[in-house]
């Protein structure tokens, strides 16, 4: 009986591991990410870093928006952000990205905060490619750049293969 259980376990393990192989991104390029993405995320931010008149200390933030990726390493888009009960509209500026062979995407961008008339950044982001085709997703993190910087988890899903 022990032998039968062992054979079933080993067979199941190898069968399952064949299904769960890591995605191969060695042939991916910036062009493979081209399209429009719905994006959302949440995290923490110290609003006083944006404007000293705003409350100091970390407050929760969440956002939704859209990002267009052009296939050549550039992008644009917008966010509607709520942080500590304060609503802000932001526009991506100077957005760049680079697809790596390990399925990661290095990004950098600044955000123009319309209500405050300021631009913050550049901010780094690292994302991981999940899926392919129209269902492609980018799961990322804005790690911050030091004490008091924001920390954000981001999920973006391609909704169109078009860049506008």
pLDDT in tens, 25-78: 889 999 999 999 999 999 888 888 888 888 888 889 999 999 999 999 999 999
Residue with tokens 């995320």: 41
> Residue 67: its pLDDT value, please?
96
Q: Is the pLDDT of residue 84 over 70?
A: yes
- Structural domain containing residue 143: 24-160
In a domain, 33, yes or no: yes
User: Looking at residue 100, which CATH number applies to its domain?
Assistant: 2.40.128
Answer whether 93's CB lies under 8 Å from 112's CB: yes
**pTM of structure:** 0.80
Number of domains the chain is built from: 1
> Residue 111: its pLDDT value, please?
93
In a domain, 59, yes or no: yes
> Residue 23: its pLDDT value, please?
67
pLDDT, tens only, 114-157: 999 999 889 889 999 998 777 899 999 887 655 556 678 899 99
In a domain, 103, yes or no: yes
Residue with tokens 């392919």: 132
> From the centroid of its chain, how far is CA 42?
11
In a domain, 16, yes or no: no
Which candidate, 100, 149, 156, places its Cα nearest to that of 123? 149
pLDDT, tens only, 137-148: 999 988 765 555
Q: Between these two residues, 80 and 19, which has the higher pLDDT value?
A: 80
In a domain, 6, yes or no: no
């Amino acid at each position: 009986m022990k032998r039968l259980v062992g054979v079933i376990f080993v067979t199941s393990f190898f069968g399952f591991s064949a299904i769960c192989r890591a995605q191969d991104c060695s042939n991916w390029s910036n062009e493979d990410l081209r399209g429009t993405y719905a994006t959302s995320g949440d995290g923490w931010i110290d609003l006083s870093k944006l404007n000293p008149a705003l409350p100091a200390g970390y407050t929760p933030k969440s956002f939704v928006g859209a990002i267009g990726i052009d296939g050549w390493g550039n992008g644009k888009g917008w966010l509607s952000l709520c942080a500590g009960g304060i609503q802000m509209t932001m526009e991506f500026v100077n957005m760049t990205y680079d697809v790596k062979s390990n399925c990661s995407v290095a990004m950098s961008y600044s955000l123009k905060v319309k209500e405050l008339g300021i631009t913050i950044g550049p901010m780094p982001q690292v994302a991981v490619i999940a899926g392919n085709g129209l269902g492609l997703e980018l799961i990322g993190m804005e790690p911050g750049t030091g004490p008091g910087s924001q920390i954000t988890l981001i999920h973006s899903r391609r909704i169109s293969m078009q860049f506008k």
